[in-house]
A = this chain, B = another copy of it.
Amino acid sequence: MFEIDLTLNEPFRLESGEVLDEVKLRATVYGRLNEDKSNAVLVFHALTGSSRIGDWWNGLMCNGCALDTSENAFICVNYLGSSYGSTSASALKKRRQKGGKAELPIITTRDIVRTNVLLLEHLGVKKLKSVIGGSVGGMLSLQLAVDFPELAEHCVSIAATPLSAMGLALNHLQRQAIRRNDLELARKIAVVSYKSPRKFGERFGRNPNRNGEDPKRRRDDRFDVGGYLDHQGDLFRNRFEIESYDLITKAMDLFDLTDADISRVRARVSFVGISSDWLFPAADVRALRDRFVRRGVEARYHEIESEDGHDAFLSDLAATSRVLRHVLGEPDEEMTVASYVAHRRGLGQLRGCYKVL
């Protein structure tokens, strides 16, 4: 793998009309771009991810994996306004201070897609074999297929639709927690929406917190699921900017698709739902596929069978790998699961792979 830090050499006009004087982009490339740059796959990370695909799809992307680095070059660009190397939300806010009260700009999925396209231009990539992403990354894959119809042959959108009223409600509550400077609570609300009730039940049940707290005896002692959520909140505080969270959830809110948008799509589209997802229900993903088909797009629906909820595309890698192999046209299903299991067991079989990257 190698990393790119690119500073755009001209001002960047946002969809809102506002112009950003300077935009920096951090990108990571896994595998090798071939001579004619015809083997590029663009990957969009999720809300709190980075351009380092290997950090969050470890086990899905390697030599021989569903995302096969022996054949393709996988490119991921950290979102404009995220916290991992591209111009961050807090930097954007600071620069707007001069006009009086500092406020974040509105960045849209359109804007983020355009920064990705500029990065591809820098690499000399004019055509993508695929564009792939999950959750907000799935929104961005679709946005790219709408805004740059000739760019990608194949668009894979996992667990994503325009946000439903329930999704908008949950983002609203998270941003209200942020207004109180409580990024941890925002994250915890999000984590609840990413998991399935069944998974929570299996993992935590009604057990008291494993550190020995006793909720029956002390008011503030927690059940195990409470301890887990607090831990997730604490981890998050140290790895993500509150302004980035604010900015990207707003971009998610605004992502929408009109029939005219859909009619512009030329890519073949693979929609992937997750059976236990209640934030982006599988039925909604399937319904979106139907809208694409009605507008003449070649679109198919696939499903990740998993109890992990919305998170499954990041946590249930065996199930996700199986579906991605199928979607990307790889016949050898068994190997994934076996190699994934080997990896999980720490047998080192895949470790070597990762070192090559």
Contacts and interface: CB of A to CB of B under 8 A. Distances in A.
Interface in A134-173: 162-166, 168-170, 172-173
Contacts of A224: 165
A327 to B, nearest CB: 26
A192 B166 contact: yes
Given A173-B185, A192-B170, A197 B104 contact: no
Interface in A242-279: 250, 253-254, 256, 278
A201 B164 contact: yes
Interface string A98-126: 00000110100000000000000000000
28 contacts: A103-B219, A104-B219, A106-B219, A163-B206, A164-B206, A165-B204, A165-B205, A165-B206, A165-B223, A166-B192, A168-B223, A169-B225, A169-B226, A169-B229, A172-B223, A172-B226, A173-B185, A173-B189, A173-B192, A173-B229, A176-B188, A180-B182, A197-B278, A197-B281, A206-B256, A215-B253, A216-B254, A219-B250
Interface of A: 16, 103-104, 106, 162-166, 168-170, 172-173, 176-177, 180, 182, 185, 188-189, 192, 195, 197, 200-201, 203-206, 215-217, 219, 222-226, 229, 250, 253-254, 256, 278, 281
